[in-house]
Amino acid sequence: MSITLDPALPRVIEQVARRTVELLAEQGTAPVSRRVLNLRQTAEALDLHHATVLKLVATGELPSKKLGKRVLIRVEDIDAFVARLPDGGPKK
């Protein structure tokens, strides 16, 4: 007995997966890959050098978690860090 799959099935599965991720993001429940960033991604998001981000992690100013050799930083911790920064408006 053999099973014949519709050739369009992989495309349909991809579309369903993409839509699922979109819906989860809209509900505030995004996949882990969207809720944590590594050092490089965090540096890019903050427009900082990766060594600066590493220093912020080392001093505890930016909370992080280790997963093996990887350092992961939650997006909500990045948002909180930015919120704690002083206003950068022009000085009078």
Tens of pLDDT along 73-86?
999 999 999 888 88
Report helix, strand or coil for 73: strand
User: 64 near 71, Cβ under 8 Å?
Assistant: yes
Q: Enumerate domains of the chain plus CATH numbers.
A: 32-86 (1.10.10)
pTM over 0.75: no
Q: How far apart are CA 81 and CA 73, in angstroms?
A: 11
The answer to whether 67 and 83 have CB atoms below 8 angstroms apart is: no
Q: Please say if the pLDDT value at position 26 is more than 60.
A: yes
